[in-house]
Amino acid sequence: MDEVDYIIVGQGLAGTILGYTFLKRGKKIKIIDEPSFSSCSRVAAGNYNPIVFKRLVKSWKADEVIPFADNFFLEAEKFLRDKIFWKKEVMKIFANENEKWFWEKKTLEDNKYLTPAQNNLIENPKSLVAPFGFGLVKDAGKIYSARFIELFRNYFSEKKILQEEKFNFSKLKRSGGQVEYENSIAKKIIFCEGWKALGNPYFSYLPFKPAKGELLILAIEDFNCEKIIHKNGYLYSIGNKLFVAGSTYEWKELDDIPTEKGKSAIIEKLKKIIQIPFKIVGHVAGVRPSTKDRRPFIGLHPAFNEIGIFNGFGTKAVMLAPYFANQLYNYLEFNSPLDMEVNICRFPLP
C-alpha cells in the first residue's frame, strides 16, 4: 500500500493549486486524473480582474485574494522554471456616455483599482472602437492556464504522484477514519473534478450551475496591446501576433465542443472592440464549474469526514483558488475556520 496524506481527484486548476499547496507544506499526495474527461482549465483565459464591471464594485474578497494569488503564481513560476504569470491592466472601453459617466462617479469612491476615465488612445488609436473613451483597472493579471496545468502534470508524473485514469467510485473504501483507493491509503480524499462533480455520488447534491464557454484564437497583424481589453467581450495578446477573444455563456448544452453559434457571438463582440481584419486560427470550449450562489464549494462531506471537495470556482479559479487552497489546508491540518461563504455546510444534505 502507498500511504499518503491526501488523494486528490482531478488535475485542473483546482486540483493542481491544491496539490501544490499540500506539497509546499510537506504533505504526501496522490492525484488521480483522466485528462480526456474535461478540459475547462486547459482552455481558460486565465485572467483575473478585481472589478465587477456591471456595478463597478470590487470583486468579492479582491483585496485579500489578489496579493495571495500573485505570490502563489510567482512562487509556482520559480518552482516550474517557466513564465506562466503576468500582472496586467484591464482597459475597460466605454460602450456609451452613460458607462463613462458611471465610471467617473465610481472613481470618486474609495476604490484603489479604478483610474480616471481617459479619452485619448495612445495604443492602436485607429484600430480600437472607443468613441466614448476608456478607463484602466489596476492590479489585474493573467496566467497561462494550459501551460501551468501541463508543467505541473509533467512534475506530478515524474514524481509518480499522478495516476492517469477515470476515478472509479466503487473502488473507494472508507475504514478507520481513512480512505483506500486501489493501492493507495490516505487520511482524506478531496474531489476537484470541476463540473464533472455532477456525477459524484457524494457531492452531486450541491447546487452547481455549470456554464459552457467558448474562446477564439485570432491572428491580427499591426495590432499591439499588452492590456486585457474589455467591452462586453474581451481581447488580449498571447504573443506572436496571436490574440484570444471571448467569451460565451451557455447553460443547456454542456460539452467541450466549439459551436458556430459561439463563434458568431464572439465575432459580434469583437467587432465592437476592433475595426481591423483578423484571422481565426483556433476555437475552443469548456464548461465552467459555476455555482448557483456564485461561491466555491469547499469542505468535508457532512456525513463522511474523510471525503472533501474543492470546487465551484466558476469564472474565478485563478483569483480565488490559491487563497482558498491555503484556507482548506489550515482547516484540514489545524482545524482553522473555513469561510462560511465557501463552506459546503451551508447546504443541508437532502
Ligand X SMILES: Cc1cc2nc3c(=O)[nH]c(=O)nc-3n(C[C@H](O)[C@H](O)[C@H](O)COP(=O)(O)OP(=O)(O)OC[C@H]3O[C@@H](n4cnc5c(N)ncnc54)[C@H](O)[C@@H]3O)c2cc1C
**Which residues make Cβ contacts (< 8 Å) with residue 191, sequence separation at least 6?**
9, 10, 197, 200, 202, 203, 307, 308, 309, 310, 311
> Using CA atoms, how far apart are residues 186 and 192, in angstroms rounded to an integer?
16
**Concatenated DSSP letters of 136-170:** EEEEEEEE-HHHHHHHHHHHHHHTT-EEES---GG
Interface with ligand X (CB under 6 A), residue from 35, 89, 132, 150: 35
Interface with ligand X (CB under 6 A), residue from 43, 62, 65, 225: 43
Is residue 33 a contact point for ligand X (CB under 6 A)?
Answer: yes
Is residue 291 a contact point for ligand X (CB under 6 A)?
Answer: no
Is residue 250 a contact point for ligand X (CB under 6 A)?
Answer: no
**Which residues make Cβ contacts (< 8 Å) with residue 11, sequence separation at least 6?**
19, 31, 33, 35, 149, 152, 153, 156, 162, 192
User: Shortest gap between Cβ of 132 and ligand X (angstroms)?
Assistant: 25
User: Shortest gap between Cβ of 284 and ligand X (angstroms)?
Assistant: 7
Is residue 246 a contact point for ligand X (CB under 6 A)?
Answer: yes
Is residue 62 a contact point for ligand X (CB under 6 A)?
Answer: no
Nearer to ligand X, 121 or 283 (CB): 283
Contact flags string 96-135 toward ligand X, x per CB under 6 A: ----------------------------------------
| Displacement of CA 62 from its chain's centroid (Å) | 14
* Interface with ligand X in residues 178-197 (CB under 6 A): 192-194, 196
Interface with ligand X (CB under 6 A), residue from 5, 23, 27, 34: 34
Is residue 14 a contact point for ligand X (CB under 6 A)?
Answer: yes
Nearer to ligand X, 73 or 223 (CB): 73
Per-residue DSSP letter, 174: E
Is residue 172 a contact point for ligand X (CB under 6 A)?
Answer: no
Q: Are 194 and 311 in contact (CB under 8 A)?
A: yes
